[in-house]
Amino acid sequence: MLLSVWPLRHKLSQCNWCLGLVYREKNVHFTHFVNEMNAGCVKRSAIKCKFFLVITVRKSCNWAKPEESAEVKTVVVQHVNIQGLGRTKEDLLGYEISDVFHAKNLIDVMKKAHVARQRLLRLGIFKDVEVLIDTSEGADALPNGLDVTFEVTEVKRLTGSYNTMVGNNEGSMVLGLKLPNMFGRAEKLTFQFSYGTKETSYGLSFFKPQPGHFERNLTLNMYKVTGQFPWSSLKETDRGMSAELNFPLGMTNHTLKWEGVWRELGCLARSASFAVREESGHSLKSALSHTVSIDSRNSAIFPSRGALLRINQELAGYTGGDASFLKEDFELQLNRRLFWDSVLSASLWGGMLYPIGGQPTCIADRFYLGGPTSVRGFGMYSIGPQSEGDYLGGEAYWAGGLHLYTPLPFRPGKGGFGDLFRTHFFLNAGNLCNLNYGEGPRAHLQKLAECIRWSYGAGIVLRLGNIARLELNYCVPMGVQSGDR
């Protein structure tokens, strides 16, 4: 058609890929454009438009010289400006936008500008980023020079939120305060306070990314949380602090964490069993942990392909504190798309807790199994060793699941609401027990392999946004041992 200049009222933010969207764009203004990208002409139009891009369409035109399509004409990006900075320090942003200088032609400039915009947005310090590409001006302007300007709007210095929550026979008021970009280099300070009829909890968190490498970051936390566990008739109050370092290494993501917690355990009711009563009291846990995870799934809630492997280790006792143990656990999930839009998902979890120094393990450190997230058909965390109806948890466990997700039969509401639902056939199995560490690995495997609890069934799953899922299942539990619920 034409070699045209399309001034667009839309921001670059709305195009996933500039060329594609613009092609669909209906409102098009044609300005006279002669067969060269003349600085003067373009500049005039640039003042009026928010965004501006030049494209060529495949069909030949009689205005433009075909050899001067935008893909091949070399340009030089002379200046990249960022406007609208307040408290953000410039050295932080230099890393994100530096790539734009290496663009060789106009399409490349647009691509790299888009990528830089995404990188600026992921820092979490800007509400909005707009891109403006213009020819360069001034004394040192080259004829094919371009200036790229990012117009940013910083987020407010302080944001707050206030919620009330009702649930579990308790009402509470939650107050949140956030200070994004506190010192100008994308640090974030968050404070949350929850005041309830039964319990009060609060947390303070400080997040600092490394300038230039946002994926490497440090988080410091201080918190007090309380929890009630009716399946064990236990209530736990944790006051602690932690320091966490995240960094990617090749394809994997590593987290190193030190955590110091003062744990206070108590009986939830006077009728708690004596085994749980014996665990009441105070203890101090100081633990170092390391997690490595490789996640190639395309979604966290309803992945249709990819795999997840996460291995976590925790060593407590060597940095102080009363609790002394080594804890290992892993999670593996594989997803594969099958015929007719259905997805087969297999997952396996396992873990082991090894007490060091001869003291018995604490109920707060042990593993629990059962419930709608692990072995369906059994009560929440109600599998394994128990005493008078209170579940004490175990030192070793494994659990596995095989799921088949299919779209709803007859696909009602296809393309819209119906896509959020899936039918779900599953087979879950698992075991939780205490190992006798004096025996060898063969005895351990044998102990884990006997008394397997398993269940199968079908149901409907609903995806809620990208954060949660709601399930309604019909399960048939099998292999129930005495004491399980």
Partner 1 sequence: MSLAADAFVSQLAAAEPWPENATLYQPLKEDQILLSDCASSLAVQAYLRMCGLPVEVVCRVNAEYMSPSGKIPFIHVGNQVVSELGPIVQFTKAKGHSLSDGLDDVQRAEMKAYMELVNNMLLTAELYVQWCDDATAAEISRPRYSSPYSWPLSNILAYQKQWEVRRKMNAIGWGGKTLEQVYEDVSQCCQALSQRLGTQPYFFNKQPTELDALVFGHLFTILTTRLTSSELAERIKSYSNLLSFCRRIEQSYFEDKKGVIVPLIKRSRRGHSSTNQEV
Using CB under 8 A as the criterion, which residues of the chain lie in contact with partner 1 when the complex forms?
262, 265-267, 270, 274, 277-278, 280-284, 320-322, 388
Q: Is 384 left (phi over 0), alpha (psi -120 to 50) or beta?
A: left
Pick between residue 285 and residue 424 the one whose CB is nearest to partner 1.
285
Shortest CB 434 distance to partner 1, Å = 21
Nearest approach, Cβ of residue 280 and partner 1 (Å):
4
Nearest Cα neighbor of 376 from 334, 422, 311, 425 is 425
Pair of tokens at residue 437: 């560490």
Looking at residue 394, the DSSP 8-state letter turns out to be B
Count how many Cα atoms sit within 13 Å of the Cα of residue 138 in the half-sphere of its side chain: 9
Q: How far is the CB of 257 from partner 1 (least distance, A)?
A: 20
Residue ranges of alpha helices (H) inside 192-317 are 274-277
Q: Please, are residues 150 and 99 in contact by the beta-carbon 8 Å criterion?
A: no
Tell the smallest beta-carbon distance from residue 237 to partner 1 (Å). Answer: 12
Cβ atoms of 433 and 451 closer than 8 Å: yes
CA distance 20 to 1: 16
Of 262 and 456, which CB lies nearer to partner 1 in the complex structure? 262
Nearest distance from C-beta of residue 235 to partner 1, angstroms: 12
> Taking the complex as a whole, how short is the minimal distance between the CB of residue 464 and partner 1, in angstroms?
41
CA atoms of 173 and 444, how far apart (whole Å): 47
Amino acid (1-letter code) at residue 258: W
Considering beta carbons, is residue 277 or 447 the nearer one to partner 1? 277
Considering beta carbons, is residue 141 or 241 the nearer one to partner 1?
241
Rounded to whole angstroms, the Cα distance separating 94 from 91 reads: 5
- CA separation, residue 390 to residues 232, 270, 451 (Å): 4, 13, 19
Which CB, 65 or 282, lies closer to partner 1?
282
* Burial category of 347 from C-beta neighbours within 10 Å (exposed 0-12, middle 13-18, buried 19 and up): middle
> Two tokens at 287?
């633990």
**389 or 457, CB closer to partner 1?**
389
The H or E element that residue 161 is part of is strand 159-167
In this complex, which beta carbon is closest to partner 1, that of residue 283 or of residue 347? 283
CB of 321 to partner 1, least distance (A): 6
444/446 Cα distance (integer angstroms) = 5
- CB 198 to partner 1: min, Å: 19
For partner 1, the closer CB: 17 or 274 = 274
